[in-house]
Amino acid sequence: MAAPQTLWVGLALLGVLGGLRTRARAHVSLQPNFQQDKFLGRWFTAGLASNSNWFREKKDALSTCSSVVAPREGGGLNLTSTFLRKDHCETRTLLLLPAGPPGCYSYTSPHWGGTQNVSVVGTDYVEYALLYTEGTKGHGQDFRMATLYSRTQTPRAEVKEKFANFTKAQGFTEDTIVFLPKTDKCLEEHK
């Protein structure tokens, strides 16, 4: 079984960002006319919601991480995230492959195996992005996560409210939603 910090890496990297099932596509829409080139650049993971038991147990110990979304030669995106783990900074990169219409990506989870699908469900490109991830982990357990990306560590109250409303519409409850505290650690690598 993966260490809790290793699982956080997977969650944080998602956060920015597995297959979306047909039932999920029925109630999670994509950003209309998604423009990948505008989505590129530095983001902070400012909010998370998940149905994972591990997440519920560890959410109070999590803090903001920094991620850079960059195009990958040959297609897809590299999502490179830097976060605090055991008092030192760690960087991980995920390869997000196009998986359907623009704004849909998939990746293979290095910790859980299987494919996770990520959808950009809303963004204004300059301030925030809302992402929804779904797939399986471990022994076929359903996994769902919503992520709030912000171009700054302190998103406006209206953006946080938009994220809270989105997560509740996806069936997440208050105890499964967290706005991550701002930190000065491990954020310099992606300036």
Query: Is 186 assigned a catalytic role?
Result: no
What is the bridge-based pairing of β-strands 65-71 and 141-150?
unpaired
Distances (CA, A) of 104 to 51, 119, 153: 21, 5, 25
Distances (CA, A) of 134 to 51, 152, 172: 10, 25, 13
Q: Which of 65, 89, 104, 186 is catalytic?
A: 65
Name the region of 160 (left: φ>0; alpha: ψ -120 to 50; beta: rest).
alpha
Where would I find the H helices in 141-185? 157-169
E strand or H helix at 19: none
CB 130 within 8 A of CB 121: yes
In this structure, what are the phi and psi dihedrals at residue 179, rounded to the nearest 5 degrees? Answer: -100, 120
Catalogue the active-site residues: 65
